[in-house]
Amino acid sequence: MRILANDGISPSGASALQASGHELLETKVAQEQLINFINDKKVEVLLVRSATKVRTDIIDACPSLKIIGRGGVGMDNIDVAYAREKGLHVINTPAASSQSVAEMVLAHLSGMVRFLHQSNRQMPLEGDTQFNALKKAYGKGIELKGKTLGIIGFGRIGQALAEIAYGLGMPVICHNRSGGPFTLTKTFSDGQQLTFSVANHSKEDVLKMADFISIHVSGAGETLIGAAELGMMKKGAFIVNTARGGSIDEVALLSALEKGHIAGAALDVFVDEPTPAVQVLMNGGVSLTPHIGAATVEAQDRIGTELATLIDEIAQQ
């Protein structure tokens, strides 16, 4: 099959596709030129990540397409139902990036409770003249151990996060629409295993009980956390969103931060990507990353090889 990896693919994924006899095109084609390129090259498989959008115009105008693949979990940038209605296969790799995203959440949490996101902004500006003042300002951090982590959305990523947090000594609770409780097994580096349970609560109870909230919902376009939900959270709690831009009302979040009700927030995803609101970017209470939760070498290797396997399975049908 002729495959266009428009947003790139890992070397391991490329090697796996080529070893199976597929023709791989790694040209980066601009969105407005994509239809012409696909038709000119008779592309059968279009692989994307979050940058390229596959809407009804491409689906209707490109009869050679048989498969649309998303390297990652969310498929907000693909008109999935319409594509399947037209007989196309739509695939993604929901398990490949779970560990990477979970570690990103813990990185944000660890940074926020020790003010790393703020001190890293201030040290280059004032570290040589205000060292002692900065030491005093950022010297009242807290530990994660013993603090309750509330996870909203308890799929693969939420469960991977729970395992890491449990290993750090954090009690973990969750809210998951499909029910619970959940029994997980934590495997340590020496092969030992420990089984533990995570109780499923209402969203409201998780917001009220947790010291830290992490969002891992799959739906797009739904504001899960607004002013009312932020108001339910403990005073001094922290919140992290690595799921979908818009899951948190950014205006309400900034208000909660400015009032001091929320101690800190971390965002890897934004309402207006790739041009996040300046007010969000400039707020010192927000720890920021540019939608890189799944962007590790290991995750991209898994994504590439998993896509290659799925394409092979479809091609052999």
Q: Are 255 and 231 in contact (CB under 8 A)?
A: no
Match 């994509």 to its residue by tokens: 34
The sign one gets for the Cα dihedral 23, 29, 35, 39 is negative
Q: Which 3-state string (H, E, C) describes the chain?
A: CEEEECCCCCHHHHHHHHHCCCEEECCCCCHHHHHHHHHHHCCCEEEECCCCCECHHHHHHCCCCCEEEECCCCCCCECHHHHHHCCCEEEECCCCCHHHHHHHHHHHHHHHHCCHHHHHHHHHHHCCCCHHHHHHHCCCCCCCCCCCEEEECCCHHHHHHHHHHHHCCCCEEEECCCCCCEEEEEECCCCCEEEEEEEECCHHHHHHHCCEEEECCCCCCCCCECHHHHHHCCCCEEEEECCCCCCECHHHHHHHHHCCCEEEEEECCCCCCCCCCHHHHCCCCEEECCCCCCCCHHHHHHHHHHHHHHHHHHHCC
Active site residues: 244, 273, 291
